[in-house]
Amino acid sequence: MNITLYPEKCIACGLCQTMSDVFDYDDDGIVLFADDHQASTMTLSDRTDALLAAKSCPTKAISVD
């Protein structure tokens, strides 16, 4: 699955990082990938926690294809 981040939509609620260690935050609390802070898209396999975090994002700052 491909996960895409839309930091401009992020409100820094913290939900995604509490649900999955795939996600991290910058100094302002805006979402980014824990393994690659510069990436906006990442391909992962079998990460139900990341999928659940994306579906739970209140502003849709994380999408899954």
CATH number at residue 43: 3.30.70.20
The residue among 23, 41, 20 whose CA lies nearest residue 33 is 23
What domain range includes position 14? 2-64
Residue 46 has pLDDT above 90, yes or no: no
Number of domains in the chain: 1
pTM of the entire structure?
A: 0.92
Instruction: Dump pLDDT digits (tens) for 9-30.
Output: 999 999 999 999 999 999 999 9
Provide the strand spans (E) within the chain. Answer: 2-5, 23-25, 31-33, 41-43, 62-64
Q: How far is CA 60 from CA 33, 42, 52, 55, in A?
A: 15, 16, 12, 8
Q: Is 33 helix (H, G, I), strand (E, B) or coil?
A: strand
Q: Are 63 and 4 in contact (CB under 8 A)?
A: yes
